[in-house]
Chains A and B, each alone.
Chain A
């Protein structure tokens, strides 16, 4: 859990037209870590996530992955470097079956490890096995989130980006999903970068975390430290939504 960071974001500024959404963000994620990013609506969390994936690209600063500068690399090629993403709003393919959705995730290796990996996903999320020949759009929200994560995992990622996996889900399902992330991290050493509004669950899960306000990182530390931090507690844990 030490050494060179797998993902290094330095001084990134991202604009939507003339509006600056990220005002110089520095973040790093080391191999085998779960790092989370918490913050209020509109703080720029999802923008950072999308900037890592190159859509939109950062105007200033750099994004490095595995020692390679990927700031100007097109999105689909970033995905080929094994950065898998479960995007905000899940974005599964609604008219394709669960099985086909998973197949889409394994496209990078042209389905070479498909059988092996799909069993792993089904073991992790048994609900998906039951639903495999059902259309993605017919799944419940929680199942769709599982599918979205499962699809991302099919790409055998080195880094998994999760954008608000708990959005709109029942607490019990959130628990299941976070449990699955924990298992993946502990058993397979998967590196996870997590964006969350549900600060409590995210901080409990994470090794380290960043707090984002208005396009800047204002605080960082271990998950436990931030959980105990009175400012964080006031802003994100007590009285806020979680």
Chain B
């Protein structure tokens, strides 16, 4: 801590000067960066000609926001953080704290109860039809990403194999359900495990050729694999329907007892004498994906304590050491790929049942990137962190759609969704700056002699390789 200066009142004027200088510089930089992107807009006029107009107001807001932001960070936030760090270091409080608050120790239970109560609460607050938005757009959408990210976490977070084509397994699961239910009329509950198995099979198929690859090379090959699957789905028109995709996919049923098809005699709403609404199906789906997520979490936590899970983590740390300890790295990698892919397959078949429609467009590289971003932001290997990251990233983008009030600030033709990726990127940069190991950077040990201690991530260097 010797090299971090203590800010006293003497040099606070110097600090202000520095903050103003850096703020102005940031504003200048933002002006340069956004001049062409934001300041000038092209559009087609009535004659179908491309013309441009200026948006100085919007540009000014961007520039002022960056200048002000930098000024606040340099002038107030950073000194505050430094002071806190210094105070902490002086007080000698170790970063490992064995005492945890009530909320911390019972976090999982609280979260689970909140999730179970979420749909009834949504209905209570906004009525049956109004709950659709909350249950479907926020609830199900986020939980799908939680599940996908937890699945990818097995491959990337635990086994340390950077997989950029994870969406391929999601696609395999979705198309497995879509095609098999379409062709053979099998039910969701039979096809769900089958889709998982098929995806796991594809996971192994991908695993074999990439066994010798690591890091960057592995990432490129998995990226290619994801694209190959998507291109096959797009071009194998006779089977997959090409870019048009497959529509009219059968809905899931309550284990065959109640159906959600409107015309069916055992329709859920009819059976209980409720008014017809699509909300019941979504609420049912919410519990299904919640169950699937719980399954994923349970399996992951169990596996981590088993030899295979330990082998995954050791593999992430050091492959050569693993081999010299008698671990079959081939088997270990393949199981990681297979199990990760299996969860992707589950999520995929769920996605198909929810959407009722699949097309290659849902399985583009951007999806893989978002899932990977959620895993990295959450803190690789940490289930809680990943769930939080999914809520922030996916829920955040959904929330943008709701931000009608922004129109009053930026003008009526402002569509917040268009800035989704910009904000997404910004959020990632900010998180990586302040929490380079993700939201939950500490890793819970799987074995301990007397008491369990969370080990802070900030103490250690990254494992190489």
Does chain A have a CB within 8 A of B108? Answer: no
**Residues of A contacting B459 with CB < 8 Å?**
135, 137-138
Q: Is the CB of A87 within 8 A of B448?
A: no
How far is the CB of A147 from the nearest CB of chain B, in Å? Answer: 11
Q: Which residue among B310, B445, B460, B461 has the maximum number of chain A CB atoms within 10 Å of its CB? A: B445
Does chain B have a CB within 8 A of A214? Answer: no
Alpha-carbon gap, A48 to B455, bound state (A): 38
Alpha-carbon gap, A229 to B369, bound state (A): 64
Q: Is the CB of A95 within 8 A of B447?
A: no
Q: Is the CB of B449 within 8 A of A94?
A: no
Q: Is the CB of B326 within 8 A of A107?
A: yes
Alpha-carbon gap, A24 to B268, bound state (A): 79
A133 is contacted by which of B316, B448, B460 (Cβ under 8 Å)?
A: B448
Does chain B have a CB within 8 A of A218? Answer: no
**Residues of A contacting B446 with CB < 8 Å?**
100
Q: Is the CB of B318 within 8 A of A76?
A: no
B445 is contacted by which of A77, A84, A91, A133 (Cβ under 8 Å)?
A: A133
Q: Which residue among A53, A80, A93, A138 has the maximum number of chain B CB atoms within 10 Å of its CB? A: A93
Alpha-carbon gap, A197 to B218, bound state (A): 36
Does chain A have a CB within 8 A of B417? Answer: no
B: interface residue count bin: 20 to 34
Does chain B have a CB within 8 A of A185? Answer: no
Does chain A have a CB within 8 A of B266? Answer: no
How far is the CB of B39 from the nearest CB of chain A, in Å? Answer: 46
Alpha-carbon gap, A92 to B307, bound state (A): 17
Does chain A have a CB within 8 A of B409? Answer: no
Q: Is the CB of A93 within 8 A of B318?
A: yes
A95 is contacted by which of B317, B448, B453 (Cβ under 8 Å)?
A: B317
**Residues of B contacting A155 with CB < 8 Å?**
325-326
How far is the CB of A242 from the nearest CB of chain B, in Å? Answer: 27
B310 is contacted by which of A87, A103, A132, A151 (Cβ under 8 Å)?
A: A103
**Residues of A contacting B447 with CB < 8 Å?**
97, 99-100, 103
How far is the CB of A174 from the nearest CB of chain B, in Å? Answer: 22
Q: Is the CB of B326 within 8 A of A76?
A: yes
Q: Is the CB of B326 within 8 A of A95?
A: no
**Residues of B contacting A75 with CB < 8 Å?**
323-324
Q: Is the CB of A135 within 8 A of B324?
A: no
Query: Mostly helix, strand, loop or mixed at chain A's interface?
Result: mixed
A99 is contacted by which of B320, B323, B449 (Cβ under 8 Å)?
A: B449
Does chain B have a CB within 8 A of A134? Answer: yes
**Residues of A contacting B317 with CB < 8 Å?**
93-96
Closest to B465 in A: A91
Q: What string of 1s and 0s marks CB contacts (under 8 Å) between A105-131 and chain B?
A: 101101000000000000000000000
Q: What string of 1s and 0s marks CB contacts (under 8 Å) between B298-330 and chain A?
A: 000000000100110110111011111111110
Alpha-carbon gap, A94 to B314, bound state (A): 9
Q: What string of 1s and 0s marks CB contacts (under 8 Å) between B449-464 and chain A?
A: 1000101000111110
Q: Is the CB of B325 within 8 A of A79?
A: yes
**Residues of B contacting A84 with CB < 8 Å?**
324-325
Alpha-carbon gap, A29 to B357, bound state (A): 68
Q: Which residue among B317, B324, B326, B455 has the maximum number of chain A CB atoms within 10 Å of its CB? A: B324
Q: Is the CB of B325 within 8 A of A104?
A: yes
B448 is contacted by which of A99, A110, A151 (Cβ under 8 Å)?
A: A99
Q: Is the CB of B329 within 8 A of A76?
A: yes
Does chain B have a CB within 8 A of A222? Answer: no
Q: Is the CB of A91 within 8 A of B321?
A: yes
Does chain A have a CB within 8 A of B443? Answer: yes
Does chain B have a CB within 8 A of A10? Answer: no
Q: Is the CB of A97 within 8 A of B445?
A: yes
**Residues of B contacting A76 with CB < 8 Å?**
322-323, 325-329
How far is the CB of A120 from the nearest CB of chain B, in Å? Answer: 14
Closest to A85 in B: B324
A interface residues, Cβ below 8 angstroms from B: 53, 55, 75-77, 79-80, 84-85, 87, 91-97, 99-100, 103-105, 107-108, 110, 132-135, 137-138, 151, 155
Known: A76-B323, A104-B325, A135-B460. 6 other contacts (CB 8 A): A76-B325, A93-B313, A100-B447, A132-B449, A134-B455, A138-B460
B interface residues, Cβ below 8 angstroms from A: 307, 310-311, 313-314, 316-318, 320-329, 443, 445-449, 453, 455, 459-463
| 9 contacting pairs across A/B (C-beta < 8 A) | A53-B324, A55-B320, A76-B325, A85-B324, A97-B448, A100-B445, A133-B449, A135-B455, A151-B325
Please list the 6 inter-chain residue pairs (A to B) with the smallest Cβ-Cβ separation, ordered nearest first: A79-B326, A93-B317, A91-B321, A137-B460, A75-B323, A85-B324
